[in-house]
Structure formats: C-alpha cells, structure tokens
Amino acid sequence: MDYVNSDLGRILKQQRITVPLTLQELAAESGVSSSHLGRIERGERFPSARILRKIAKPLGFNEDELFTLAGFLSPQTPGIAEEAGTRYASRQLDPYVARMLAEEPTEVQRAVIGVLSLLKSIAKGMTK
C-alpha cells in the first residue's frame, strides 16, 4: 500500500462517513461496486478518473476537487502566472484532455500526468 493511495482512500472514506453513506449506498448511487470502493478506501486500489467522476457527486465533491486530491490536477495557485510572466488561462487539464484521459487505464493516466508534470517543471525552469 503506498501513501498516495492510502491518503486518498482515507479522505474518501471520511467524506463518505460524513455525508453519511454506507459503502452499499455509495455503490448504488455511483454505479461502482462496493467491493471496489472498499479496496479504494483501504488504499489497495487507486481510482481511475472514470471512477472519480462517478463518486464525486454522491460524496459531495465537485470533480475538480476530487481530481486534485487524487493528483490528476494541480492545485490552483493564484499569482503564479503573473510571477512567471506568462498567461495561463488555467492550471488544470483541458476538459477535452481530461475526458479523453478518463477513458484510459489507470497506468496510462498516471504516465500522462507524470509527463505533463515534467513538462510544467521544464517550462517553469525556462521562465526564470
């Protein structure tokens, strides 16, 4: 079990309990099996973007919040665009890219997010 999976799972479980929903109720509302949701909460599985989309609303999250918690999106940091001297409309994935990425397996999603993070770091270094 790695820390990212465990932390996200703990957050999702706490939110589910706070709402309050049982695993079975969340499964019924989201269309994701209760056994899969349990594995996510225990940190045994990392949810794909497709799964995150399904559970966001029943848990009271908007998709961007959940995608940020899962590491699919960068947290919004005000003022960075101005400091870097560039104009970024948003520090998030383009909605089209996010939709297309959601259709890919988790391993591909992680690889793409990793590459995008690397490119952002390189770009940030070039603007200094």
pLDDT tens-digit map of 113-127: 767 767 776 777 766
How many residues make up the chain in this entry?
A: 128
Q: Rounded to a whole number, what is the largest CA-CA distance in the chain?
A: 51
pLDDT of 1 = 46
pLDDT in tens, 53-76: 999 999 988 888 888 888 877 665
Between CA 6 and CA 45 the distance in angstroms is: 9
Residue reference for tokens 């940030």:
124
pTM for this prediction: 0.57
* One-letter amino acid for residue 33 of the chain: S
**Confidence tier at 8 by pLDDT (50, 70, 90):** confident
Cα–Cα distances (Å) from 127 to 44, 45, 65, 72, 80, in that order, read: 39, 37, 28, 24, 11
CATH fold group of domain 3-126: 434 Repressor (Amino-terminal Domain) (1.10.260)
